[in-house]
Structure 1
Amino acid sequence: MEAAERFVEKDYRDLIQTAHQQLGGPIVLVRDNSNTHLTAGMRRCITESDWLTVYQLPPYAPDLNPVGGIWSVLRRTTTTNCAFVGPDDLITALRRGLRRLQYRHDVLAGCLTGIGCAC
């Protein structure tokens, strides 16, 4: 997405309000810690809407996302200290890293153990 196409605070507020109007009922929103989600305007929108329930995800919760451990390994091995020419270059590096990782059962088991899986 280009910068001009990104959602800003007003876009999120409008989306939530439109969903409420179209669905005609309460909305439950689970949000991450994007700067756009944490603005004063969004906080105001939440407190002023009795039909909106918001659950805030913790800043980093690998136990809620099993893929987080794998991405952590890739960040430390495949993408660290790298400058990518473009998206295709990044995708190629990530595929290479994932290919190497698929043969490292010990590392994969460690990622699953980190989320409480006794595999």
Structure 2
Amino acid sequence: MTPPTSRTWAKRGHTPVIRVRGRSQRRYSVAALCCYKPGERSRLIYRPQRHTDHKRGGRKSFAWTEYRDLLIAAHQQLGGPIVLIWDNLNVHKDARMRAFIDTHDWITACHLPPYAPDLNPVEGIWSVLRRTTQANTAFTDPDHLLRALRHGLRQLQYRSDIIDGCLTETGLKLTTPRLKAQ
């Protein structure tokens, strides 16, 4: 739980020190989707996950099943087909995830080139969080971190201008024509 520091200060000639309580062995992951549709407000759909048994050989991140469940929830919430633009995370390329995507006609997946976080709008969301609600905070425990994270993401959900800005920053454009109802 090293605090994300954006600014600090100390007397001239003294190195600033940020004291943090002991490190926690608990681990959290967050998956998020930036959702864009021409003519509608942009949306952010996210899921935090607490990993409690990673010390005993359990997972330290999302499994393909959690990503699958997130996509199903997003499809139900958005009420339409989904075109995924994914980075090259190994779980995104998992054979079981590929089989799931191939069996559902409402989802299409495209992968970004390797090492291209500047093309991923969700990276902009993480940057905004680190600079706003997470900045200059020494979290007292893992639950404090999760509460602050959820609060920051909830605030961003209602700021479609910021979500739009994350897409604009990538240089990508919405050029997919509207799909015709069948």
TM superposition score category, shorter chain reference: 0.3 to 0.5
Instruction: Considering Cα pairs closer than 8 Å and 6+ residues apart, tell me whether 1 or 2 has the greater RCO.
Output: 2
Please identify which structure carries the higher helix content: 1
Structure 2 length-normalised TM: 0.32
